[in-house]
Amino acid sequence: MPLVSAFVAGLLFASGLILSGMTNPAKVLAFLDIAGRWDPSLALVMIGAILVAAIAFRVGGARARTVFGGSIHLPSAKHIDARLVAGSISFGVGWGLVGYCPGPALASLGVGGWPTLLFVAAMIAGMVLFESVERVAAWRAARGHPQAATELP
């Protein structure tokens, strides 16, 4: 049942992205162009997403288990560190250059052509690189290496 619910949630999310126009990089780039022909519609989509997420986190935080009996894993970090800032900057730069973030890019794979495929390939390469760096840092930390911390300098 968890696979079915994950599939339905993903399908609902992708449908929302498509219906709101967020799979169109030109629409996203128009939102980011505040000095030009600014399109504020993405702000409305973001506000709607924040409201839904706030409700979900409130309900999820009050429960011990999911509806289907799985454990609930909410984020525990409460502070802003260099890794979060660096990740946010890299996400923002990529979003501003291309007009895609991961969800809309995946939802656009079937219709976006080569630019979308190239973006998704670069996104996956970045994820693999990050995971590799994390594993090396964990390996070094386990051996007591002085530069083992995964935090950025």
CA distance 130 to 123: 11
Q: Evaluate if residue 152 carries a pLDDT over 60.
A: no
Cα–Cα distances in angstroms (integers) from residue 39 to residues 3, 13, 32, 51, in the given order: 36, 22, 8, 21
pLDDT tens per residue, range 36-74:
889 998 899 889 989 999 998 888 888 888 777 888 887
Arithmetic mean of pLDDT, 83-97: 89
Comparing CA positions, the residue from 42, 43, 47 lying closest to residue 26 is 42
pLDDT value for 109 = 87
CA distance 112 to 89: 25
Please, which pLDDT band fits residue 146 given cuts at 50, 70 and 90? low
pLDDT value for 60 = 83
Neighbours of 108 (CB within 10 A): 23
99 touches 25 (CB < 8 A): yes
What are residue 51's phi and psi, to 5 degrees?
A: -65, -45
pLDDT value for 149 = 52
CA distance 76 to 79: 9
The pTM score is 0.72
pLDDT value for 77 = 82
Q: Evaluate if residue 132 carries a pLDDT over 90.
A: yes
Q: Evaluate if residue 150 carries a pLDDT over 80.
A: no
Percent of the chain whose pLDDT exceeds 90? 22
Residue, of 86 and 149, whose pLDDT is higher: 86
